[in-house]
Copies of this chain bind each other. A is one copy, B any other.
Amino acid sequence: MDYVYGPGRNHLFVPGPVNIPEPVIRAMNRNNEDYRSPAVPALTKTLLEDVKKIFKTTTGTPFIIPTTGTGAWESALTNTLSPGDRIVSFLIGQFSLLWIDQQQRLGFNVDVVESDWGQGANLDVLASKLAEDRYHSIKAICIVHNETATGVTNNLATVRKLLDDHNHPALFLVDGVSSICALDFRMDEWGVDVALTGSQKALSMPTGMGFVCASPKALEAAKSARSVRVFFDWNDYLKFYKLGTYWPYTPSIQLLYGLRTALDLIFEEGLDNVIARHARLGKATRLAVEAWGLKNCTQKEEWFSDTVTAVLVPQYIDSAEVVKRGWKRYNLSLGLGLNKVAGKVFRIGHLGNLNELQLLGCLAGVEMVLRDVGYPVKLGSGVAAAAAFLSNTTPLIPSRI
């Protein structure tokens, strides 16, 4: 049943799927239930209310769809846009690339703004495009908040500012897959029209739930959007929301209870504390990378990601070997470099329900692996740099004071 057992815990540091906290595993350890009994709508009601909090929205309408992030993307696009619509989209890494591929296949007219992998979205280009677009041919701006392949976080507040400065009515669609519930994300404040994430990321659950949250403007757009959609159609949900039964098709009972617990844990810790913890672990990781004498794939500090760090290896090393070696020798799961940066970077996910000592164990493992593949790292150097920072910044666990 466990195809490749190794002693001790697996150290899971891919940027998703991430570690599930024990209480969530426990909550999902259950038989099926009739989702048409009064129990499930009662539970669902609390979930929908609380999901809004992690998007920091009071006006948005959340949809919890039995799908992955890819499906959530499709739901965001097809409910708000029509074939042929012009959209501006930023290509900065593998996941933005995949989203753009989807946008094109769904028939939109995608105005791709490409950056080097390791750079953030080029918002200067956006500014000029908006400036030029007097007749509002641009129907939507599509942007990943955090590009998981390169560890780049885009500045969403600036996007909103540009839209406002140009008084541009384009919809603002955000992939928050590796950001929401881990990075500072403010749907209402930033005027995001559709934001989305997946359960296996910062919510620290199994894969299987796509979370899509729509602003009133997005809901309005949905009324005239002519993209063909059925499974991903918000209207089917809205119909059942009105009925108070919530589910147009069978939800996963296990994930519902798991989500309840995942949210409870997040609120117990405090969403802002969760975000601060990610900031702390992200910074600690970057300090380690620096101490190792390696470069961050992310080219400027303003784009540093607090959920994933893509580490550039020297040319004489194949980063895939780092990942392979970690898994084979130390039960350590690191992220591969994807596409353009395959072989060039490995990724440390520091995302989800994770603490300081888990990260330090991972960093110690990376050091040993780097040695294995021929990079002359000073053992303990990265751990020391990270620990120096963490030791000054980690708060006491509130429930244990």
Contacts and interface: CB of A to CB of B under 8 A. Distances in A.
Interface in A352-400: 353-362, 364-365, 367-368, 371-372, 378-381, 383-385, 387-388, 390-391, 394-397, 399-400
Nearest to A30: B22
Interface string A234-246: 0000000000000
Interface stretch (A38-46, A49-57, A183-191): A38-46
Nearest to A368: B391
Interface in A10-24: 10-12, 14, 16-23
Nearest to A359: B361
A361 B357 contact: yes
A328 B6 CA distance: 30
Interface stretch (A215-223, A260-268, A308-316): A260-268
Interface string A146-185: 0000000000000000000000000000000000000000
Q: How many copies does the complex hold?
A: 4
A31 B22 contact: yes
B5 A265 contact: yes
A86 to B, nearest CB: 18
A379 B5 CA distance: 32
Contact of A399 (B4, B28, B260): B4
A295 to B, nearest CB: 21
Nearest to A358: B8
A80 to B, nearest CB: 15
Contacts of A32: 12, 17-20, 200, 206-207
Contacts of A257: 1
A396 B328 contact: yes
A329 interface: yes
A396 B356 contact: no
Nearest to A6: B397
A250 B371 contact: no
A282 interface: no
B6 A400 contact: yes
Given A26-B26, A396-B329, A6 B391 contact: no
Given A6-B400, A8-B354, A70-B230, 5 more contacts: A3-B399, A4-B39, A12-B33, A20-B31, A83-B228
